[in-house]
Amino acid sequence: MKVAKDKVVAIDYTLTVQGDVVDTTAGGEPLEYLHGHGNIITGLENALAGLSKGDSINVQVEPEDGYGEYDEDGTEVHPRSEFPQEVEVGSMFVGETEDGDEVMLTVVEVDDENVTVDRNHPLAGEVLSFDVTVRDVRDASPEELDHGHVHGPDGHHH
Protein backbone atom coordinates (compact mmCIF):
# COMPACT_ATOMS: atom_id res chain seq x y z
CA MET A 1 0.00 0.00 0.00
CA LYS A 2 1.34 3.41 -0.96
CA VAL A 3 0.92 6.78 0.72
CA ALA A 4 -2.01 8.51 -0.99
CA LYS A 5 -5.06 10.63 -0.20
CA ASP A 6 -7.26 9.19 2.57
CA LYS A 7 -4.58 6.79 3.86
CA VAL A 8 -3.48 6.90 7.49
CA VAL A 9 0.32 7.12 7.54
CA ALA A 10 2.62 6.51 10.51
CA ILE A 11 6.02 8.18 10.25
CA ASP A 12 9.14 8.55 12.32
CA TYR A 13 10.77 11.89 11.65
CA THR A 14 13.48 14.25 12.75
CA LEU A 15 13.18 17.94 11.89
CA THR A 16 16.45 19.82 11.61
CA VAL A 17 16.75 23.58 11.09
CA GLN A 18 20.18 25.08 10.38
CA GLY A 19 21.80 21.95 11.82
CA ASP A 20 19.82 21.91 15.07
CA VAL A 21 17.25 19.20 15.84
CA VAL A 22 13.99 21.04 16.50
CA ASP A 23 11.59 18.12 16.77
CA THR A 24 11.83 14.33 16.58
CA THR A 25 9.81 11.19 17.21
CA ALA A 26 13.00 9.32 18.19
CA GLY A 27 12.44 7.54 21.50
CA GLY A 28 8.68 7.97 21.22
CA GLU A 29 5.73 6.85 19.16
CA PRO A 30 5.57 7.51 15.40
CA LEU A 31 3.36 10.36 14.24
CA GLU A 32 0.14 9.22 12.59
CA TYR A 33 -1.67 11.55 10.19
CA LEU A 34 -4.40 11.41 7.56
CA HIS A 35 -2.82 12.02 4.15
CA GLY A 36 -4.27 14.67 1.85
CA HIS A 37 -6.10 16.62 4.55
CA GLY A 38 -3.54 19.24 5.49
CA ASN A 39 -2.77 17.58 8.84
CA ILE A 40 0.97 18.12 8.33
CA ILE A 41 3.11 20.70 6.52
CA THR A 42 2.34 20.87 2.80
CA GLY A 43 5.93 20.35 1.65
CA LEU A 44 6.31 17.22 3.77
CA GLU A 45 2.92 15.80 2.79
CA ASN A 46 3.69 16.22 -0.93
CA ALA A 47 7.08 14.51 -0.57
CA LEU A 48 5.58 11.45 1.17
CA ALA A 49 3.01 10.71 -1.55
CA GLY A 50 3.72 7.41 -3.32
CA LEU A 51 6.09 6.03 -0.65
CA SER A 52 5.57 2.63 0.99
CA LYS A 53 6.13 1.15 4.46
CA GLY A 54 9.87 1.04 5.20
CA ASP A 55 10.84 3.83 2.79
CA SER A 56 13.10 6.60 4.13
CA ILE A 57 13.63 10.04 2.62
CA ASN A 58 15.21 13.39 3.37
CA VAL A 59 13.02 16.35 2.44
CA GLN A 60 14.07 19.99 2.26
CA VAL A 61 10.97 22.16 2.71
CA GLU A 62 11.18 25.80 1.62
CA PRO A 63 9.43 28.38 3.82
CA GLU A 64 6.54 28.81 1.34
CA ASP A 65 5.66 25.11 1.83
CA GLY A 66 6.60 25.17 5.52
CA TYR A 67 5.85 27.82 8.15
CA GLY A 68 5.73 30.72 5.70
CA GLU A 69 8.10 33.52 4.81
CA TYR A 70 9.21 35.78 7.66
CA ASP A 71 6.97 38.87 7.62
CA GLU A 72 9.02 41.97 8.52
CA ASP A 73 5.75 43.73 9.42
CA GLY A 74 4.72 40.88 11.69
CA THR A 75 5.44 42.67 14.97
CA GLU A 76 2.92 44.67 17.00
CA VAL A 77 3.31 46.93 20.02
CA HIS A 78 0.74 46.64 22.82
CA PRO A 79 0.44 48.45 26.17
CA ARG A 80 2.23 46.61 28.98
CA SER A 81 -1.03 46.63 30.95
CA GLU A 82 -2.60 44.12 28.55
CA PHE A 83 -0.12 41.47 29.65
CA PRO A 84 0.48 39.53 32.87
CA GLN A 85 2.97 41.07 35.30
CA GLU A 86 5.54 38.32 34.66
CA VAL A 87 5.65 38.82 30.86
CA GLU A 88 9.19 38.48 29.47
CA VAL A 89 11.02 38.09 26.18
CA GLY A 90 10.22 34.63 24.82
CA SER A 91 6.78 34.39 26.47
CA MET A 92 4.11 33.11 24.09
CA PHE A 93 0.45 34.05 23.87
CA VAL A 94 -2.47 33.01 21.70
CA GLY A 95 -3.83 35.85 19.60
CA GLU A 96 -6.30 36.15 16.77
CA THR A 97 -5.90 37.07 13.12
CA GLU A 98 -8.35 39.38 11.35
CA ASP A 99 -10.08 36.22 10.10
CA GLY A 100 -10.49 34.94 13.65
CA ASP A 101 -7.88 32.20 13.32
CA GLU A 102 -5.66 31.50 16.31
CA VAL A 103 -2.05 32.61 16.01
CA MET A 104 0.86 32.24 18.42
CA LEU A 105 2.45 35.52 19.45
CA THR A 106 6.02 35.53 20.74
CA VAL A 107 7.18 38.39 22.95
CA VAL A 108 10.33 39.95 21.47
CA GLU A 109 10.68 43.12 23.55
CA VAL A 110 9.43 44.39 26.91
CA ASP A 111 9.85 47.84 28.47
CA ASP A 112 8.01 49.79 31.19
CA GLU A 113 5.34 51.01 28.79
CA ASN A 114 4.98 48.47 26.02
CA VAL A 115 5.28 44.86 24.95
CA THR A 116 6.29 44.02 21.38
CA VAL A 117 5.03 40.71 20.02
CA ASP A 118 5.92 38.89 16.79
CA ARG A 119 3.12 37.00 15.06
CA ASN A 120 5.49 35.08 12.78
CA HIS A 121 5.78 31.36 13.53
CA PRO A 122 9.14 30.73 15.31
CA LEU A 123 10.21 28.72 12.22
CA ALA A 124 8.95 31.25 9.64
CA GLY A 125 11.52 31.89 6.94
CA GLU A 126 13.48 28.73 7.77
CA VAL A 127 14.26 25.83 5.41
CA LEU A 128 13.05 22.70 7.18
CA SER A 129 15.03 19.47 6.78
CA PHE A 130 13.01 16.34 7.55
CA ASP A 131 14.48 12.83 7.80
CA VAL A 132 11.45 10.59 7.54
CA THR A 133 10.81 6.84 7.63
CA VAL A 134 7.37 5.48 6.77
CA ARG A 135 6.40 2.97 9.49
CA ASP A 136 2.91 2.04 8.33
CA VAL A 137 0.23 2.86 5.78
CA ARG A 138 -3.41 1.81 6.27
CA ASP A 139 -6.87 2.72 5.05
CA ALA A 140 -8.66 5.35 7.10
CA SER A 141 -11.93 4.45 8.81
CA PRO A 142 -15.11 6.17 7.56
CA GLU A 143 -15.21 8.12 10.82
CA GLU A 144 -11.63 9.34 10.39
CA LEU A 145 -12.40 10.47 6.83
CA ASP A 146 -15.52 12.22 8.07
CA HIS A 147 -13.51 14.10 10.70
CA GLY A 148 -10.48 14.74 8.51
CA HIS A 149 -7.99 13.42 11.07
CA VAL A 150 -6.68 10.23 12.67
CA HIS A 151 -8.27 8.56 15.67
CA GLY A 152 -5.90 6.59 17.89
CA PRO A 153 -6.10 2.87 18.66
CA ASP A 154 -8.46 3.63 21.55
CA GLY A 155 -10.90 5.40 19.28
CA HIS A 156 -11.94 8.96 19.73
CA HIS A 157 -9.66 11.44 21.48
CA HIS A 158 -11.58 14.69 21.26
Q: Which is nearer to Zn ion, 119 or 147 (CB)?
A: 147
Q: Which is nearer to Zn ion, 119 or 151 (CB)?
A: 151
CB of 144 to Zn ion, least distance (A): 7
Query: Which residues of the chain form contacts with Zn ion (CB under 5 A)?
Result: 147
CB of 149 to Zn ion, least distance (A): 6
Alpha-carbon distances of 134 from 31, 55, 85, 149, rounded to whole Å: 10, 6, 46, 18
Strand partners, 94: 104
CB of 143 to Zn ion, least distance (A): 7
Name the nearest CA neighbour of 33 among 138, 117, 103, 110.
138
Q: Which is nearer to Zn ion, 53 or 147 (CB)?
A: 147
